[in-house]
């Protein structure tokens, strides 16, 4: 068994728990730092006894320093997500996503961490009309959330140049899969659609439903993180993490209807401030490191539906 120690901030959350479980399966030592505001104990069920779990907030510099002791690799997944929430409360978004990230970087620098992999977001691109999005495009963030992710990317770049802390930023494109919370006011679209259809309710679409996204199954993201943590050509760079395709919300809904059944029609609400119209990634850069989207959109949807059905006992 490897003695390397990984720290996963936000490791009890949706993406973080999948990453944590993969590291445990591969025999690594793993420490999770999470304040459990959105992370859940149940996300770590079955592996808790093989983990070290630190309950604390990345906004608390002392807690972060303590959690960083002896760590070799950091996966910084902890964040306050959601564009609408950031529009409603930009201060808390900044404190978590910018100040919290700075605390993580400072602690990693001081602890002699070998590499830090950061969960950024496709939202940094904004409404640039060119598709697919390539990493050399000038960012145009449209929301406090998007801006907070971009600022943290810049901090990583500065820390690598000034302090020599190896870092990699991964711009996630609309991740979905098991354990994604459908209950929150700010929940992502696929878990909301899935649970509505399973329960026979009409799903809500904000806007006309023709907005498109590069929906990416969570296991693809886990793979991208592991590659980014080891690849020699990764430090100091930004990479898109996606599948390289795109689907409209109406296409997502039709796919889910085929899997789940039912004929319910959506409820349409006004489009939300800060939401991007269309998003699609070029994944050529991360593919050059050996990444490929091994789970397709359709396969990911089927696995996601199966998980929610099992969770609801139906």
- Residue 88 exposure: Cα atoms within 13 Å on the Cβ side: 9
Instruction: Return the residue matching tokens 């994604």.
Output: 180
159 DSSP β-pair partners: none
Pairing of strands 247-248, 212-213: antiparallel
CB 219 within 8 A of CB 173: no
| Closest to 305 (Cα-Cα) out of 264, 234, 233, 257 | 257
DSSP-derived secondary structure for 255-281: HHHHHH---PPPEEEPPPTT--SB--B
Q: What is d(CA 134, CA 123) in angstroms, rounded to the nearest whole number?
A: 13
| Closest to 97 (Cα-Cα) out of 72, 77, 67, 116 | 77
Instruction: Return the residue matching tokens 């303590």.
Output: 66
Q: What share of the chain is helix, strand, coil (3-state, %, to 5)?
A: 40, 20, 40
DSSP class of residue 133?
A: B
Q: What is d(CA 86, CA 144) in angstroms, rounded to the nearest whole number?
A: 5
Q: Which of 6, 118, 125, 145 is catalytic?
A: 145
Q: What is d(CA 16, CA 32) in angstroms, rounded to the nearest whole number?
A: 9
Task: Clarify whether 118 is annotated catalytic.
Answer: no
Stretch (H or E) spanning 92? helix 90-94
Q: What is d(CA 37, CA 169) in angstroms, rounded to the nearest whole number?
A: 24
Active-site amino acid positions: 145
């Amino acid at each position: 068994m490897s003695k390397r120690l990984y720290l996963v901030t936000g490791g009890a959350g949706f993406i973080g728990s999948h990453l944590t479980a993969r590291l445990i399966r591969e025999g690594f030592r793993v420490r999770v730092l999470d304040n459990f505001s959105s992370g859940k104990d149940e996300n770590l069920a079955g592996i808790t006894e093989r983990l070290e779990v630190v309950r604390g907030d990345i906004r608390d510099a002392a807690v972060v320093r303590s959690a960083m002791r002896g760590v070799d690799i950091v996966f910084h997944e902890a964040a306050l997500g959601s564009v609408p929430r950031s529009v409603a409360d930009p201060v808390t978004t900044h404190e978590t996503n910018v100040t919290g990230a700075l605390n993580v970087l400072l602690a990693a620098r001081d602890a002699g961490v070998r590499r830090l992999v950061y969960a950024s977001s496709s939202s940094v691109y904004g409404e640039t009309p060119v598709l697919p999005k390539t990493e050399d495009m000038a960012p145009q963030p449209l929301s406090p959330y998007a801006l907070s992710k971009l600022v943290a990317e810049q901090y990583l770049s500065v820390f690598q140049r000034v302090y020599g802390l190896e870092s990699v930023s991964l711009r996630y494109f609309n991740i979905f899969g098991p354990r994604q919370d459908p209950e929150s006011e700010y929940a992502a679209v696929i878990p909301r659609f899935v649970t509505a259809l399973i329960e026979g309710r009409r799903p809500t679409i904000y806007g006309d439903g023709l907005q498109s996204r590069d929906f990416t199954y969570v296991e693809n993201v886990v793979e991208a993180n592991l590659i980014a943590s080891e690849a020699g050509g990764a430090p100091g760079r930004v990479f898109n993490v996606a599948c390289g395709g795109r689907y409209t919300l109406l296409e997502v809904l039709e796919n889910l209807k085929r899997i789940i059944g039912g004929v319910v029609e959506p409820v349409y609400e006004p489009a939300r401030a800060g939401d991007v119209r269309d998003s699609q990634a070029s994944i050529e850069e991360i593919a050059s490191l050996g990444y490929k989207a091994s789970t397709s959109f359709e396969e990911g949807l089927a696995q996601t539906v199966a998980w929610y059905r099992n969770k609801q006992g139906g």
